[in-house]
Chains A and B, each alone.
Chain A
Amino acid sequence: MHALEKILAKASGKEDVSAGEIVNAKIDLAEVNDLYLQTIKSFYEMGGDKVWDPSKIAFVLDHYAPAPSILSASNQKEMREFVWNQEIEHLFDVNTGVCHQVMVEGGLVYPGMILVATDSHTTTHGAFGAFGTGVGATDLASIMLTGELWFKVPEVIKIEIKGNLKRGVMAKDIILHILGELGTDIAVYKAIEFTGDTLKNLNISERMVLCNMTVEMGAKTSYIQPDEITLKYLNDRGIKDFKVFETDSDFEYSEVYQFDISNLEPQIALPHSVDNGTDIGNVKRMKVDQVFIGTCTGGRLEDIEIAAQVIKDNKVNKKTRLVIIPASNEIMEKAVEKGYVSTLIRAGATFSSPGCGPCLGTHQGLLAPGEVCATTSSRNFPGRMGSTEADIYLVSPATAAAIAINGCIADPRDYLKI
């Protein structure tokens, strides 16, 4: 069996499971974000009274943090009241950050668990050897009611990555490249495991980027076998009580793909599809109106650090806006301590409060018709960040910073001593 199958087997009280089988699994953590008041509505519509286990539910108010409208404020108010009335233990309010970052920082994510959240990017937690998957509001409500959810055991695709990244090339470039090669529906109903020697040099944040964007290939969940890097990270956060599952040597993957990233160039995904990636050098130097560094894909400390290193004493181009939103308050605090925030503010950046920001087109930097945006987030769908007549380009944080200086498409390696 694959480690993911072992996780599902244990959670559903079975000796073994195999791909295609439907199982009813016990959920270790169910997370609801502030887009989904429907979760609470569905819970009561299904006859819910008390939630199954207040210690295994988290609410994260991150998509509208802080509330930009009366309606979103009212939705958040109802959610807080539900949390307090139900004595739910984990409330991450608008002062904390994006769910996939704050649950990790809060010590709620560990190997071998099943984490279900009302957010498609829950695949992120494969970086810890957890089974993380996204669902809609009503599925989540059924977990709040019963503590269980049905799953079809997924086939597993193996993606082996070899080689070391060159300076100025990041995990985001790896995943944009893989997406460009394999497409947006390669893993629909399936899981993706990353293996290979490249991982030995990727820290937790970088692994989270890879796993985060597997959902853009359609994946149900993702997996990276926990190793010393994972265990050290968890130990530093005081997380010790978990079991690491391992894949049997005779397990058969549904597909295996190999990538050598030794000579990978910075990547850029053109509008309006995530798999529309190419080398940065292949794209003409068009004007960019807004650069966004942030989100569960590209708003971690390392991302803000590289942006500060690229920008250094340069200024943001006068005809371009640079919006930076750290993925969490913890990251914001560290970025202040290390001086990255000062560097970036002096250069002309706008910082906004931790949360999802303009990634999903709700607030904090939307795009006008005809505008062009380069972003470290994960989606360039039409209208994703505002007007359907805006163009969104997906890039790494290093590339985003280089673009902010130039006001047009640029290569970060021109600003980093190699």
Chain B
Amino acid sequence: MNTVLKGKTLVYGKNIDTDQIYPGRYLELVEPQEIASHAMEGVDPNFSEKFNKGDIIIADKNFGCGSSREHAVITLKTVGVSAIISESFARIFYRNSINLGLPLIICQGILDFVNEGDELEVHLIEGKIKNITTGKEIFGEKLPSFVLDMIAEGGIKQYYIKKKNVKK
């Protein structure tokens, strides 16, 4: 697994809820590619034009609050968000992201550290975030080792498949 990620940033505000990340009217969709076509539709109607595969989402506190819908993670993961860095995450969104192998970093002060469009280098193991555009560095919270393991496997599904195969 690549534990050093690079990408340009898109910056959003506080309390970005899962209804904004993935509106309720599309909840009946099941296929990831279809789900991906509505990413961030309620937050930023221009998201799909601005976003490039590998970009990193930066957000103020409580990103992913509200509904438990896993679609919110599926949509971001499938469009190709490489990581999300926020002051804090809502807990169900946090669990869903880990389960699907989308790295998250909790980082106090991230909004003062990044301007939209800056290029970052994120070191997942150390929790280190380097702003290539400004040359500055900041540290977020390190991910617990079992979370890193889960992300390294590609998510909880691969983790269980591997466990089952080991048993056999």
Chain A interface residues toward B at CB < 8 A: 22, 35-38, 41-42, 45-47, 63-64, 69, 71-72, 75, 118-120, 134-139, 142, 145, 184-185, 188-189, 216, 218, 220, 273, 360-362, 366, 379, 381-384, 386, 388
- The residue among A72, A185, A189 with the most chain B CB atoms within 10 A of its own CB is A185
Most A CB atoms within 10 A — which of B61, B65, B155?
B65
Tell me which of B94-102, B117-125, B131-139 binds A.
B94-102
Chain B min CB distance to A183 (Å): 9
Given A42-B157, A184-B62, A185-B62, does the pair A383, B20 have CB atoms closer than 8 Å?
A: yes
| Residues of chain A contacted by B4 (CB below 8 angstroms) | none
* Residues on the B chain within 8 Å of A184, using CB: 15, 62, 65
Chain A residue with minimal CB distance to B42?
Answer: A383
**Structural contact, A361 and B19, CB atoms closer than 8 A:** yes
Q: Contact at A69–B28, with CB atoms within 8 Å?
A: yes
Q: Min CB distance, B166 to chain A, in Å?
A: 12
Q: How far is the CA of A63 from the CA of B25 in the complex (A)?
A: 11
Task: Pick the 5 closest A-B CB pairs, nearest first.
Answer: A136-B70, A361-B24, A136-B96, A360-B24, A46-B160
| B161 cross-chain contacts in A, Cβ below 8 A | 45-47
Docked Cα-Cα span, A281 to B96, in Å, equals 41
Of chain B, the residue at the smallest CB distance from A37 is B30
Kindly list chain A residues whose C-beta atoms are within 8 Å of the C-beta of B53. none
* Distance, CA A118 to CA B156, complexed state (A): 16
Q: Is B80 positioned at the interface, with any CB of A under 8 Å from its CB?
A: no
* Chain A residues, Cβ within 8 Å of B85: none
Q: Inside 8 A of A386's CB, which chain B residues have their CB?
A: 25
Pick from A38, A72, A216: contact of B70, CB below 8 A. A38
Task: State whether B157 touches A38 (Cβ < 8 A).
Answer: no
A contact face: mostly helix, strand, loop, or mixed: loop
| Chain B hits for A64, CB < 8 A | 28
Interface residue range, chain B: 35 or more
Which residues of chain A are within 8 angstroms of B90 by Cβ–Cβ distance?
Answer: 185, 188, 218
* Chain B, range 1-44, C-beta contacts under 8 Å to A: 15, 17, 19-20, 23-25, 27-30, 42
In the complex with contacts A134-B92, A135-B68, A218-B91, A71-B29 CB distance below 8 A: yes
Residues in A neighbouring B92, C-beta threshold 8 A? 120, 134-136
Nearest CB in chain A to that of B30: its residue: A37
On chain B, the residues within 8 Å of A189 by CB distance are: 91
Known: A185-B62, A360-B19. A136 touches B69 (CB 8 A): yes
Within 82-131 of B, Cβ neighbours of A (below 8 Å) are at 88-92, 95-96, 99-100
Interface: B73 (CB within 8 A): yes
Q: What number of residue pairs across chains A and B have CB atoms under 8 A from each other?
A: 124
The answer to whether A145 touches B160 (Cβ under 8 A) is yes
How far, in angstroms, from A317 to B74 measured CA to CA in the complex? Answer: 43
Residue B48 is within 8 A (CB to CB) of chain A in the complex? no
A386 to B90, CA, bound (A): 23
| A36, B74: Cα distance in complex, Å | 12
CB distance from A358 to the nearest CB of B (A): 9
The answer for the CA separation of A46 and B163 in the assembled complex, in Å, is 10
The residues of B with any CB-CB pair to A shorter than 8 Å are: 15, 17, 19-20, 23-25, 27-30, 42, 61-62, 65-71, 73-74, 88-92, 95-96, 99-100, 144, 146, 155-157, 160-161, 164
Instruction: List 29 contacting pairs A-B, 8 Å CB cutoff, sorted by A.
Output: A38-B70, A41-B30, A45-B157, A46-B164, A69-B28, A72-B28, A120-B68, A134-B68, A134-B92, A135-B95, A136-B92, A138-B70, A138-B157, A139-B96, A142-B156, A184-B15, A185-B15, A185-B62, A188-B91, A218-B62, A273-B15, A360-B24, A362-B28, A381-B20, A383-B20, A383-B23, A383-B24, A384-B19, A388-B42
Residues on B with C-beta less than 8 A from A216 are 65
Among candidates A134, A138, A218, A388, residue contacting B156 with C-beta atoms closer than 8 Å: A138
- Chain A hits for B61, CB < 8 A: 185
Distance between B45 CB and nearest chain A CB, rounded to angstroms: 9
Residue among B73, B74, B156, B161 with max Cβ neighbours from chain A (10 Å): B156
CB contacts (< 8 Å) of A381 on chain B: these are 17, 19-20, 42, 66
Out of A45, A75, A136, A188, which one reaches B73, CB within 8 Å?
A136
Q: Please judge, given known A-B contacts A184-B65, A381-B17, whether A220 and B91 are in contact too, CB under 8 Å.
A: yes
Query: Is there an interface contact between A35 and B157, defined as CB atoms closer than 8 Å?
Result: no
Of listed B96, B99, B155, B164, residue having the most chain A CB within 10 A:
B99
Contacts of A42 in B (CB 8 A): 157
User: What's the nearest-Cβ distance from chain B to residue A363, in Å?
Assistant: 9
> What's the nearest-Cβ distance from chain B to residue A386, in Å?
8
* Pair B27/A63 contact, Cβ less than 8 Å: yes
- The residue on A at minimum CB distance from B29 is A71
Known contacts A35-B69, A41-B30; 10 further A-B pairs (Cβ under 8 A) = A46-B157, A46-B161, A134-B92, A135-B92, A138-B70, A138-B156, A185-B15, A188-B89, A360-B27, A381-B42
Nearest A residue (CB) for B144: A22
- Residues of the A chain whose Cβ atoms lie less than 8 Å from the Cβ of B27: 35, 63, 360, 362
CA distance A57 to B76 in the complex (A): 29
Minimum Cβ distance to chain A for residue B96 (Å): 4
CB atoms of A119 and B68 under 8 A apart: yes
A119 to B157, CA, bound (A): 20
Are A71 and B20 in contact, CB atoms less than 8 angstroms apart? Answer: no
